[in-house]
Amino acid sequence: MIERHRRPYDNVNQMVGWTPLVRLNRVAEGIRTPVYGKCEFMNPGGSVKDRIGSAIIEAAEARGDLEPGGTIVEGTSGNTGIGLAMAAVARGYRCIFTMPDKMSMEKVKLLRAFGAQVIITPTDVSPDDPRHYSQHAARIARETPGAVLADQFYNPANPEAHYRTTGPELWEQSQGRITHFFAGAGTGGTISGTGRFLKEKRPDVQVVGVDPVGSIIAPYFHTGEKPEGEAYAVEGLGNDKIPGTLDLDPVDDYVSVADRDAFHMAIRLTREEGLFVGGSAGLIVHAALEEARRIDDPEAFVVAILCDWGEHYLTKCFDPEWMEAEGFGMPGERR
């Protein structure tokens, strides 16, 4: 593995990637199958989306779409915006982001701390509604001189970044022993790019997508039909449309996890493992542990993506009053 931090970096973008892989212990008690978490919250911007920030900007520069002094526009649940903003400020670009109103205020404040302009849009609108955060972002990009739409849901630089970085890292960190890879899909970049790399290395690796109950991706995977999406509280994963960057060819299965189970596991990972993660990581780990228990194989090597840093959700799943108000309770409470 590459030895990190031995020498100075030229800029913050070089600090992205080579995040640690750590075995889960207390939350996996009684499960013989080893389960590991890929600590993407240890990227400098605090999430797996840091990997695509620089990649998207570099691709736009190479095409000639983004020139000095330009503006980067994107519709984001927060983490892609942070990854883009972090990469942008190092290059002198301005950023404008649209975000659905269900997202945490912590992420809004983080984006503004990077100097980005943030526009809040309604969550409960259809994907083709002009008020939808992705539609609103596209309009801003069209109307702003010198602007480029990052377009994470359709930009091939997104999955390519994971094919070039996340996949090779997991292969090396597991010494080629990885047997199961669990990830969610908001844009689909992580599971598509990483899954494609792992399948090329070892075709029998099981790539499993994890969706919040209410998202349409898991139902679409199993039926080929697009149902009406329903509201869910977990941020950053799932979708009410099928993104262009989502390639389901490397995916072997898709499972759905309820908000309550996702949030409870995020809290348990923090309190029992010392891994301070958000609800999306809880969602993925819950599914990975269920599968690890089922296969019951000490020779297997299960990896779950730990998507982002829990500090982004202090007013959400780490706030007992919010959890109670939403009807989720706290781990250990009977409902």
Name the residues annotated as catalytic.
Answer: 49
Phi and psi angles of residue 326, each rounded to the nearest 5 degrees, phi first: -85, -5
Task: List the alpha helices (DSSP H) in 181-333.
Answer: 189-201, 217-223, 259-273, 279-295, 320-325
The answer to whether 305 and 284 are in contact (CB under 8 A) is yes
Q: Taking Cα atoms as reference points, which of 112, 44, 136 lies closest to residue 83?
A: 44
Cα(334)–Cα(81) distance, integer angstroms: 37
Give CA torsion, residues 79, 83, 84, 88, to 10 deg: 150
Cβ-based neighbours of 266, under 8 Å, separated by 6 or more: 277, 278, 279, 281, 282, 310, 313, 317
Question: Which amino acid is present at 77?
Answer: S
Buried (b) or exposed (e) across 214-228, using 16+ Cβ within 10 A? Answer: bbbbbbbbeeeeeee
Task: Kindly state the DSSP code that residue 2 receives in the 8-state scheme.
Answer: P
**Residue 309 CB neighbours (<10 A):** 23
Q: Taking Cα atoms as reference points, which of 329, 241, 318, 254 lies closest to residue 291?
A: 254
